[in-house]
Copies of this chain bind each other. A is one copy, B any other.
Amino acid sequence: MSFNGFPSKLLENAVNEFSSLPGIGRKTAFRLVMNLLRRNSEEVRRFGETLIKLHEEIHYCKICHNISDNEICNICSDKNRDRTMICVVESIQDVLAIENTRQFKGLYHVLGGIISPIDGIGPADLKFDTLEEKVKTGGIIEVILALSTTMEGDTTNYYLYRRLGKYDVRITTLARGVAIGDELEYTDEITLGRSIMNRTPFITPV
Binding site for B on A (CB under 8 A): 1-11, 13-14, 17, 21-24, 28, 30-37, 39, 41, 44-59, 66-69, 73-75, 91-93, 95-97, 99-100
Contacts and interface: CB of A to CB of B under 8 A. Distances in A.
A44 B58 CA distance: 13
B92 A7 contact: yes
Q: What is the oligomeric copy number?
A: 2
A29 to B, nearest CB: 10
* Chain A interface, >50% SS class: helix
30 contacts: A1-B93, A1-B96, A2-B100, A4-B100, A5-B96, A7-B67, A7-B68, A7-B74, A7-B95, A7-B96, A8-B58, A10-B50, A11-B67, A13-B53, A14-B50, A14-B51, A14-B54, A17-B46, A17-B51, A21-B36, A22-B31, A22-B32, A33-B54, A34-B92, A37-B54, A37-B67, A39-B55, A45-B52, A48-B48, A48-B50
